[in-house]
Structure 1
């Protein structure tokens, strides 16, 4: 069979510390997958920071922007946190991504490292399931000016500081006032993020095919303040009315400090992240495995 992908970019899991230290296991994982790709007839290309931090110099290295323009496929070797960051950066280029799980949970990096060869070989030849996940676009508005904006794949979270009391938030959906909420914070999650922080805060899981979001209060003052599922075709605006040390987080990787009167406006982005999975993959099998549900039968 003819190769479907030839130029494959590799993104490794590392901690960009001042010492640029990376564990031997992470370095070995990148090296192992790169060698496998070369044996299969692909051209492995390392993302520049991955190359710098692993010290692997056997393959060409490129920054993310160049990878987006020149590569056919990206492989993320790490956990879901690594995938979130890479997915946001590569979404505008429409490059599909495969996740090789070196973390502990792995909802979106679903191929175990020890099984990468058997899983990847047919995928490189076009045997895969494709799964498109929309991104969220969030903007912090201050006196009619956007002072901070970011993309998120999982969620946008407005919450209090670690030593502060509750925050008070004014919520609008589609331009309509919903409520003033007093809580530790508020989560607006995509279907992808519905199995992350939103789930631990009591929110429902949304199937990835649902064009919606879930809005989940964190430890609300009023017990009747419950999670609600909303269409992703409408904007959600969250205004900071009260509270100290209030911040907005975007996939827990971007941070904006907020002032009273700031509005966080969340809307569906024009970009999607394209995930590729082994043939036969389905969402419910992932939930059973990762959440350790009792399958009951075959």
Structure 2
């Protein structure tokens, strides 16, 4: 068993259909199994959950031994960033659409959680990125990302020009719609749709993927995890930088975004039969192919 786990937090996407029933069912199971249960404030207040204490995410980080997140990948991204400094292991229940990182189906929730808490699980660590925005020598914004940090043009503007340096070595000036700097976890998100490579989550590399570059020879590249990337906005209007599409800063010419690997990481607890390649097959529909008979006709 996870002998150190005495207090378990349950965090839900409170506005998702059926979330109240899911949270109550899980809380009742955990309570009957001898665990202390904590809800997050937003779920408790919006769904009227009064059977157990509720706390802010920051307080959950200081109090919980494990956190179970119910929702989609976007919910997990936001919670993971907030809990990363506290090293709280995360278990994801998919009540959304994709489920790359919320990997337990809702209808298998109780048996899967029971086995994980018995110690029948796979623990997996994922890396994160951190960045600061520097303007006229002063830091004006900072953030962390689990998936990616994206510099992009405004919706009604043309291409932007970016000057990119890696470890203080000039790499290129790029004219494009933007640039994605991605973790291995994020390689199946926006970076994939922009033509980036898939990176196994156990890798420590950082992927840089241009968005619709003017020069077609400007291709994605995977950098060492120790790299420090500096991206300067040279030209273009209405540009911004966002972190997991959930926080952002507007940019002006000569702003610099300094990106590196975060000192924090995320620990996921998966069912013992989980494997990354199964996730890829299922979510990217690699298992969907025509029969031999159909292919020949």
**Which TM-score tier does this pair reach, normalised by the shorter chain?**
over 0.9
Which residue of 2 is the match for residue 151 of structure 1? 144
Pick the aligned partner of 1:120 from 110, 113, 121: 113
Distance 1:169 1:290 in 2: 33
Distance 1:212 1:155 in 2: 12
Secondary structure at 1:100 match in 2: strand
Pick the aligned partner of 1:60 from 39, 46, 53: 53
Which residue of 2 is the match for residue 17 of structure 1? none
Confirm whether residue 210 of structure 1 aligns to residue 191 of structure 2.
no
TM-score by length of 2: 0.94
Confirm whether residue 281 of structure 1 aligns to residue 274 of structure 2.
yes
Which residue of 1 is the match for residue 193 of structure 2? 200
Confirm whether residue 12 of structure 1 aligns to residue 12 of structure 2.
yes
Confirm whether residue 254 of structure 1 aligns to residue 247 of structure 2.
yes
RMSD between aligned residues = 1.4
Cα deviation for residue 72 of structure 1 reads 0.7
Cα deviation for residue 295 of structure 1 reads 7.8
Unaligned runs of 5+ in 2: 290-297
| Contact 1:4/1:126, CA 8 A, preserved across alignment | no
Which residue of 2 is the match for residue 47 of structure 1? 40
Distance 1:58 1:211 in 2: 42
Cα deviation for residue 4 of structure 1 reads 5.1
Residues 2-151 of structure 1: pairs in structure 2 closer than 5 A: 5-14=5-14, 22-151=15-144
Which residue of 1 is the match for residue 293 of structure 2? none
Cα deviation for residue 2 of structure 1 reads 7.4
Distance 1:125 1:144 in 2: 52
Unaligned runs of 5+ in 1: 15-21
Secondary structure at 1:139 match in 2: strand
| Contact 2:16/2:71, CA 8 A, preserved across alignment | no
Cα deviation for residue 211 of structure 1 reads 1.2
TM-score by length of 1: 0.94
Distance 1:295 1:4 in 2: 42
Distance 2:32 2:254 in 1: 57
Distance 2:32 2:288 in 1: 38
| Contact 1:138/1:149, CA 8 A, preserved across alignment | yes
Cα deviation for residue 275 of structure 1 reads 0.6
| Contact 1:189/1:214, CA 8 A, preserved across alignment | yes
Secondary structure at 2:18 match in 1: helix
Instruction: Note closer, same or farther for the CA distance 1:115–1:140 as it changes in structure 2 (3 Å cut).
Output: same
Distance 1:62 1:13 in 2: 15
Which residue of 1 is the match for residue 174 of structure 2? 181
Secondary structure at 1:220 match in 2: coil
Q: Which moved more, 1:1-10 or 1:241-250?
A: 1-10
